[in-house]
Amino acid sequence: MGEIANYFARERYIKRRLSLLVLAGTAMLVPAVLASANGSISRLALEAAFGLYAACVAVAVVFIVRGARARFPRSASAMDEPLDDATRKKLRRRLLFLQCAAGFYAVVLGHSLSQGRRGTWLQVLIGAALYLLLEVALIKAIRRLRLKLNQAAGAATPVNPR
């Protein structure tokens, strides 16, 4: 059960740091957008600020994930303990949330592609690539959680000694 506890601790660690990253980015980008709307800075400077922010986020995410892996290493042993009902319910709720998020992003991808004829093709391709990247990440997370639940269900069934 240590692996499941590490899973939730690792998730909390990553979630807190990503939340701080989003908060800091909002604090930096909102004034830039408002200044651009007032005409204080040019559109090119605003685009450069967004590009710099995206590069910083990419580097920060790599460091956050590396830190989480170093702080909460995966256990080498196979998970052979059954899950209690509260943990199983928590994992099922998380699985349902991830499935709903995957469905939502699929609908948003379809809608953005249908509305893509109003924008340039480069914008549509970049948006579609980002949505597909999110979909892949969500599907991988769903598969991982299903595997954890299936392994726990296999550990919960008693082995027949015959």
Same domain, 56 and 91: no
Same domain, 70 and 115: no
Domain with 51, as residue range(s), is 1-77
Q: How far apart are CA 113 and CA 128, in angstroms?
A: 7
Q: What is the pLDDT of residues 117-148, one digit of tens each?
A: 777 777 778 788 888 888 998 999 899 889 88
Residue type, 7: Y
Contact of 126 with 109, CB cutoff 8 Å: no
Same domain, 45 and 103: no
Q: Which of 26, 44, 77 is the last residue in one of the domains?
A: 77
Same domain, 158 and 88: yes
For residue 96, give the DSSP letter. H
In this prediction, residue 143 carries a pLDDT of 93
Question: Which residues have a Cβ under 8 Å from the Cβ of 18 and sit 6 or more positions away?
Answer: 61, 64
Residue type, 39: G
Q: Which of 60, 77, 94 is the last residue in one of the domains?
A: 77
Lowest mean pLDDT among 6-15, 73-82, 118-127: 73-82
Q: Which of 77, 94, 112 is the last residue in one of the domains?
A: 77
Structural domains in the chain (count)? 2
Same domain, 72 and 87: no
pLDDT surpasses 80 at 5: no
Same domain, 3 and 47: yes
Q: How far apart are CA 145 and CA 101, in angstroms?
A: 14
pLDDT surpasses 50 at 1: no
Q: What is the pLDDT of residues 24-57, one digit of tens each?
A: 988 988 998 899 899 898 988 888 888 888 889 8
